[in-house]
Structure 1
């Protein structure tokens, strides 16, 4: 489910006392000057204890028991995921379940709520700043797709052109064959030069054969933004051939860069 659909689901939630909805945005960023000593643990403890103390003082035992169920589930979540924390954690939970939880690589402002509704203001803002996007990286006979949402990787895959059949073949990103790019012998370099000349002659036709698939992926995966990254002539060729609107072309060779660097590049625009 996309974050856009998740937000709509969360906005429809409503519970009445003694059941309410717990919403937490917690800054866990180790690079934050205010988090150098792992202060998020103190913020988490204080945030949970504040509600528990208030409900105990208020004398609503049924609501207190419901909150304590949520508190235990939240503490268990951090015990299980403490070593995997990034910059922030978002949890929205009822006494019966975690409706939404995520460990994010983008910052949030620490907030805690125990109310009849889920507080989604920060999620809405994060979605606006880090929408679901498709990054199409191209470099001659290879096209790599990096899908991202809320600043993290959703999926990545590579398509390579089979020169014998002139078909684009799908590979996992980790299994991409780098032999052509890393060849050093005189014969291999000469073959590479011949291929580049052939590619330039046939680039439009070969790109035209893959753009319908790229358009379909963009539609099926509900990309809200599309970025093309690669040599200027290649990205603009793809842009002209695709039906889906392109939000930005980035003239950089990043086909083999780590996905974190690719995602950071588009968000730094």
Structure 2
């Protein structure tokens, strides 16, 4: 879900009976003590049934609109039942002119609405907490970029400096630092040699990668940027970038799992 786009589209959306818009924030967080028994299923069933009961005396056209929404919601939940993450957010109309549904890695307070306008307070708060974010992790000649929003991973990009050509090359697959350094004492000696060479040329080499990061930040529309790595490397890279950096974490997390890194940033 592009949350900024959703907010812009729904901010001034308004309708009236028999057409209404459905808003759902459903807490499905398995780590929540109140969700240990899958209570979200009961909350979902009760939330949908409550509207159906309320609409018994309303026009048949509004009931048909709600039934159309209910069917879409139930189908979406069923299709994604095995991976609901921590929450589900849905905005929908019976006419079909609005349908936004996503599973998020951020918890919400369970709420249901069937009204003339969408209820956006929680979504706005989620956006303020974790908008479109770029996370840049550095470790010598290796750089990993995580593109994220709402605590969820969108994409991961890897760059590695070719020390023969002095070019930063984008590559796929997991980072494997030092995989070609040999073994034993020779490996240790080679690594020390490469580290010394990198420290001597770090400013020049980071200057050459910085424009790529600025371009990525513009293309991905990052609203905040976090940098993670040794303080001297992070400071050097930041100094060569035009985009402002929101925060820095002085830890070596390059080889950590992406969700672990996102949690580290969300804790800032």
- State the partner residue of 1:94: 93
SS of corresponding position for 1:102? strand
Contact 1:161 1:167 in 2 (8 A): yes
Q: CA deviation at 1:177?
A: 3.8
The CA distance in 1 between the partners of 2:12 and 2:180, in whole Å, is: 52
- State the partner residue of 2:133: 133
Q: How does 1:19-30 map to 2 (within 5 A)?
A: 19-30=19-30
CA displacement, residues 162-181 of structure 1 (integer Å, 9 cap, x when unaligned) = 11110000012x24343448
More divergent stretch after superposition (244-253 vs 184-193): 184-193
* 1:207 equivalenced with 2:206 (yes/no): yes
Change (3 A) 1:65 1:256: same
Contact 1:180 1:192 in 2 (8 A): no
The CA distance in 2 between the partners of 1:26 and 1:177, in whole Å, is: 39
Q: How does 1:247-266 map to 2 (within 5 A)?
A: 247-266=246-265
- State the partner residue of 2:162: 162
- State the partner residue of 2:115: 115
SS of corresponding position for 1:212? helix
Q: CA deviation at 1:233?
A: 0.6
Q: How does 1:1-269 map to 2 (within 5 A)?
A: 2-56=2-56, 58-97=57-96, 99-172=99-172, 174-180=173-179, 183-269=182-268
The CA distance in 2 between the partners of 1:168 and 1:149, in whole Å, is: 26
Mark the runs of 5 or more structure 2 residues left unpaired by the alignment.
none
Q: CA deviation at 1:153?
A: 0.4
Contact 2:178 2:191 in 1 (8 A): no
Q: CA deviation at 1:37?
A: 1.3
CA displacement, residues 112-137 of structure 1 (integer Å, 9 cap, x when unaligned) = 00111111111000000111111100
SS of corresponding position for 2:248? strand
Q: CA deviation at 1:148?
A: 1.1
Q: CA deviation at 1:161?
A: 0.2
Q: CA deviation at 1:54?
A: 0.9
The CA distance in 1 between the partners of 2:144 and 2:17, in whole Å, is: 50
Contact 2:160 2:169 in 1 (8 A): yes
Q: Which runs of 4+ in 1 moved over 6 A?
A: none
Q: CA deviation at 1:73?
A: 1.1
SS of corresponding position for 2:80? helix
Change (3 A) 1:182 1:13: farther
Contact 2:181 2:190 in 1 (8 A): no
What is the TM-score of this pair, normalised by structure 1? 0.95
